[in-house]
């Protein structure tokens, strides 16, 4: 969806459904951070998603102290561009110019590796855990890890050591063992391990590569943190850093271009509100984080929260095979301890699904098992499907009623840029073109329905978009630096940088200096090489044991080279971030389809998705 504030793409109908008594909410799973959420959190905490937090001042510290950068499953010339611009590209060029060496570990010679890598190490998809374990083996047997740091900053290291050396299962995780799993030559594994041990090294991601969405991604996510711990995590130049989302979840940014004010804008909708929640403290996403009284009133939570929840990736099962149960995911961005609470759909006293109202109709394009989603949408229990969307695509083809939505280019709005890594700005957005046909903004689409139900005043609070735009400016925090009349004339304002960012401790440096005074958010406050929470709640989990393991196969996945399926189906499909669109968005733009590497025109005239095949 598009990022909008006055007429958000997601959640406008939830306020109306609340006025009608409540609803079932589809809860977003942690799709962009899965392995980190379910794995890395159990090593270093780092709420809310399991990537390294805090992340202040990372790149100045890396530039000053680091010698080697490991870009692991990372394509900084592709992944960030569609959502946060070109800073990642410029940063990579600069890091090379000042003398840092870049090693890329990724199955494909992606755009970033082709341009920036001093060394490319190809690896079989989803086998990173084997390589990581072998690196740990080399360090343990050669004594090249930071033993003093581990002695004071870790819990359960002896159990991890027993697994790596084969004392637990009789299989030493040697480079020879790993090479057969991951396809990286034994000598390359040893060379990488020794180079890493001998140089001050930081690990760089686009978002998180193999530590988010692959099978058993919780394991490489954990092992990555463990290797950083063995390197002295938080010491000068030893960090995990990202090439996008410079601003998300962070008080202080990893780049030194942070405005002295972060504009606080309201969201006139309720997105992924957990069942039964009434406040941010209970897991709600904040709709406004400022202190403007009128905006606080306009955006306060609606009276009736959702009655029950379904994780997005279980919607098809919930419709076709109720009841369904799962662990955790009552809320988006919930703390790690919630992973040990079991939930069921239908919730006690609640019904199954009989109507679907979607403002993100992309189940059959973006999520797992598309054919089963189609089957679920056709199920007799689903009496009505309503879709609001700008385009006739994806799930709209299954809808009974389609509400045409205008794009952000056809409505007014107010926005901010805190995420490009270059500037912090506040800007106004006017209409570029008139709305097409009968389309309206998402908010107004729902307002029309509210009006038919006699709830227009309750839903809109009697405010026009022009009034809300001015209110949003007045409550943004920027109003002391520029007047409404001035920004109306100029349309944007670049907020001066905050010099205090230069004084912020880089990354987890405070933990590195004193783990007792500055503990992590794990149960022990330390880096947990054996998770104390998993030891307590799921000690025998074969897919996520307390100590991170290599998982050959399970009831969930069987796609290693050792699989019997591999003999009949030798090709493994990877769906990386595409070069010319964002996920599925932008696929139907005619002028980008003219680019030879976006679509291939077949002999039948159809424009097919190009597939890159490794002939080895």
Tell me the per-residue pLDDT of 138-170, one tens digit each, with 9 for 90 and over.
Answer: 999 999 999 999 999 999 999 999 999 999 999
Alpha carbons within 13 A on the beta-carbon side of 17: 19
500 belongs to a structural domain? no
pLDDT band with cut points at 50, 70 and 90 for residue 616 = low
Q: How many domains does the chain have?
A: 1
For position 16, what pLDDT does the model report? 95
Q: What is the phi/psi pair of residue 357, to 5°?
A: -120, 110
The answer to whether position 490 is within a domain reads: yes
Q: What is the pLDDT of residues 274-295, one digit of tens each?
A: 999 988 888 888 899 999 999 9
What is the structure's pLDDT at 213?
86
Q: Do the domain assignments include residue 436? A: yes
**What pLDDT score was predicted for residue 592?**
82
Mean pLDDT for the chain? 94
Question: How long a stretch of residues is the chain?
Answer: 616
The answer for residues whose C-beta is within 8 angstroms of residue 279's C-beta and 6 or more apart is 301
Instruction: Kindly report, residue by residue over 252-275, the tens digit of the pLDDT.
Output: 999 988 999 999 999 999 988 999
Q: Are the CB atoms for 473 and 487 separated by under 8 Å?
A: yes
Residue 441: which domain range?
A: 12-32+261-494
322 Cβ contact list (under 8 Å, min separation 6): 345, 346, 352
pLDDT in tens, 453-466: 999 999 999 999 99
Task: Please give the Cα distance from 132 to 178 (Å, whole number).
Answer: 9
Is 362 a member of any domain? Answer: yes
Asked if residue 391 belongs to a domain, the reply is: yes
Is 248 inside a domain boundary? no
Q: Residue 518 domain-assigned?
A: no
Report yes or no: 522 and 530 within 8 Å, Cβ to Cβ.
Answer: no
Classify residue 284 by its DSSP letter.
P
Contact 127, 106 (CB under 8 A): no
Q: Is the pLDDT of residue 127 over 80?
A: yes
Q: Give whichever of 341-345, 361-365, 586-590 has the largest mean pLDDT.
A: 341-345
> Is residue 66 domain-resident?
no
Contact 218, 339 (CB under 8 A): no
Instruction: Supply the pLDDT for residue 1.
Output: 59
CATH number, domain with residue 403: 3.40.50.740
């Amino acid at each position: 969806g598009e990022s909008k504030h006055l007429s958000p793409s997601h959640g406008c109908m939830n306020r109306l459904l609340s006025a009608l008594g409540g609803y079932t909410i589809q809860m977003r799973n942690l799709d962009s951070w899965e392995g980190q959420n379910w794995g890395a959190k159990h090593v270093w905490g780092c709420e809310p998603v399991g990537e390294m937090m805090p992340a202040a001042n990372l790149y100045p510290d890396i530039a000053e102290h680091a010698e080697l950068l490991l870009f692991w499953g990372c394509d900084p010339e592709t992944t960030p561009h569609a959502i946060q611009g070109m800073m990642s590209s410029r940063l990579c060029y600069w890091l090379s110019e000042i003398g840092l060496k870049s090693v890329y570990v990724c199955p494909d010679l992606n755009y970033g590796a082709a341009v920036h890598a001093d060394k490319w190490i190809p690896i079989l998809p989803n086998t990173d855990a084997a390589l990581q374990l072998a690196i740990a083996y080399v360090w343990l047997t050669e004594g090249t890890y930071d033993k003093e740091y581990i002695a004071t900053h870790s819990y359960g290291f002896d159990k991890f050591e027993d697994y790596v050396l084969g004392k637990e299962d009789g299989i030493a995780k040697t480079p020879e063992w790993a090479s057969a799993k991951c396809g990286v030559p034994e000598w390359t594994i040893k060379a990488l391990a020794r180079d890493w041990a001998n140089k001050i090294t930081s690990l760089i991601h686009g978002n998180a590569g193999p530590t988010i969405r692959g099978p058993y991604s919780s394991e490489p996510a954990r092992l990555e943190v463990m290797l950083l711990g063995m390197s002295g995590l938080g010491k000068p130049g030893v960090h995990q850093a990202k090439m996008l989302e410079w601003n998300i979840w962070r008080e202080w940014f990893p780049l030194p271009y942070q405005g002295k004010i972060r504009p606080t804008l309201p969201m006139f909708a309720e997105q992924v509100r957990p069942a039964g929640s009434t406040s941010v403290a209970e897991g709600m996403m904040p709709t406004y984080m400022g202190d403007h009284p009128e905006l606080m009133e306009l955006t306060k939570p609606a009276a009736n929260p959702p009655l029950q929840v379904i994780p997005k990736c279980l919607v098809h099962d919930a419709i076709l095979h109720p009841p369904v149960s799962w662990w955790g995911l009552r809320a988006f961005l919930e703390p790690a301890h919630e992973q040990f609470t079991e939930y069921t759909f239908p919730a006690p006293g609640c019904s199954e699904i009989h109507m679907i109202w979607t403002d993100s109709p992309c189940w059959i394009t973006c999520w797992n098992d598309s054919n089963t989603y189609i089957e679920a949408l056709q199920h007799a229990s689903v009496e009505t499907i309503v879709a609001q969307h700008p385009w006739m695509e994806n799930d709209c083809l299954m809808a009974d009623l389609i509400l045409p939505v205008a794009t952000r280019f056809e409505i007014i709005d107010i926005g901010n840029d805190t995420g490009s890594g270059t500037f912090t700005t506040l800007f106004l957005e006017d209409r570029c073109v008139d709305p097409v046909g009968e389309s309206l903004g998402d908010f107004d689409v729902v307002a029309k329905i509210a009006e038919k139900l006699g709830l227009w005043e309750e839903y809109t609070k009697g405010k026009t978009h022009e009034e809300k735009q001015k209110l949003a400016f007045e409550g943004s925090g920027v109003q002391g630096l520029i007047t409404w009349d001035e920004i109306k004339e100029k349309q944007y304002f670049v907020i001066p940088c905050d010099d205090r960012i230069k004084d912020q401790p880089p990354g987890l440096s405070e933990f590195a200096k004193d783990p007792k005074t500055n503990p992590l958010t794990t149960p022990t406050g330390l880096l947990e090489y054996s998770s104390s929470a998993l030891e307590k709640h799921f000690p025998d989990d074969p897919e996520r044991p307390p100590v991170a393991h290599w998982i050959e196969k399970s009831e969930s996945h069987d796609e290693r080279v050792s699989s019997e399926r591999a003999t009949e189906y030798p090709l493994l499909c990877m769906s990386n971030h595409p070069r010319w669109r964002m996920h599925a968005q932008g696929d139907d733009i005619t002028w980008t389809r003219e680019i030879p590497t976006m679509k291939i025109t077949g002999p039948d005239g159809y424009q097919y998705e190009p597939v890159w095949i490794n002939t080895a």
